[in-house]
Amino acid sequence: MPHGAKLVIIDLCYAPLIAWGPLLAAVTVAYAVRRRRHG
């Protein structure tokens, strides 16, 4: 198991993968709202 600086590096590299789904959903909803509002 990594620890110390290696663990921090792994966490920083893995964090965007965790955030990808919620961020993609938020962008998709914002796009749909914008398209519906402006035709």
pLDDT at 4: 93
Give residue 10's pLDDT. Answer: 93
Confidence at residue 1, expressed as pLDDT on a 0 to 100 scale:
84
If you write DSSP's letter for every residue of 5-33 in order, what string do you get? Answer: HHHHHHHHHHHHHHHHHHHHHHHHHHHHH
Task: Give residue-wise pLDDT tens across range 1-39.
Answer: 889 999 999 999 998 899 999 999 999 999 999 999 876
- Classify 2 as helix, strand or coil: coil
Position 2 scores a pLDDT of 81
pLDDT at position 28 is: 98
CA angle, 10 as apex, 5 and 20 as ends, to 5°?
145
| pTM for this predicted structure | 0.60
